[in-house]
Amino acid sequence: MLKNIKPEIAYRLINHGPVVLITTVDKIGKPNIMTLAWLTVVNSEPPLLVIAMGEQAYSQKLIKKTKEFVVNIPDKKLIKKVLYCGSVSGKDTDKFKRAKFTAINSQKVKPPKIKECFAHLECKVINQYKYGDVVLFVSKIVYADADDKLFDEYIKTDKIKTIHHLGGGWFAETGKRFKD
């Protein structure tokens, strides 16, 4: 039997891409970190992705100004820090310091990347669309790297568990990978 689902919670059926940490900088180069679940790939060549960011996020203002950010991919061991960076605003808090994350220089953008994350996608915004309080940033991946022990052209999901938000405080982790 099929169960009817309210459209307002239907997103929970497709919500669970990896939860990521978005790093940004302000105009004097002070970095910030924000937790984000709503992102998707748009294209592989050229490599494009979209992130959806609400007005509550200070990061939205920073990206509008600088047009740059880094997508940092954490593993499950970092869940406490991931939840912290998604519950406090960087407007008045140094989340790098508070969460004890280490900033390392990016190659092609000003925002730093997070050393403790196993992969990083440096992005430049090419278009933005506003829907109510949410801004969609369509962005080009200009540089990317990943821990070579955990990525061999595909994520080694047997070795690393990424975090997947099901909505409402529920999460899932990746499992064994397989090929069709």
Ligand X SMILES: Cc1cc2nc3c(=O)[nH]c(=O)nc-3n(C[C@H](O)[C@H](O)[C@H](O)COP(=O)(O)O)c2cc1C
Minimum Å gap between C-beta 97 and ligand X is: 13
The residue among 89 and 107 lying less far from ligand X, judged by its C-beta, is 89
The residue among 58 and 156 lying less far from ligand X, judged by its C-beta, is 58
Minimum Å gap between C-beta 44 and ligand X is: 22
Minimum Å gap between C-beta 158 and ligand X is: 24
d(CA 73, CA 18): 7
Which residue of the chain is nearest ligand X when measured via CB? 86
Residue 25 identity: V
Cβ proximity of 164 and 6 under 8 Å: no
d(CA 113, CA 91): 19
The residue among 80 and 176 lying less far from ligand X, judged by its C-beta, is 80
The residue among 168 and 175 lying less far from ligand X, judged by its C-beta, is 168
Cβ proximity of 2 and 38 under 8 Å: no
Cα dihedral across residues 171, 63, 24, 160: positive or negative: positive
Site residues (vs ligand X, CB under 6 A): 19, 32, 34-38, 52-54, 56-59, 83, 86-91, 165
Minimum Å gap between C-beta 38 and ligand X is: 3
Cα dihedral across residues 33, 38, 41, 47: positive or negative: negative
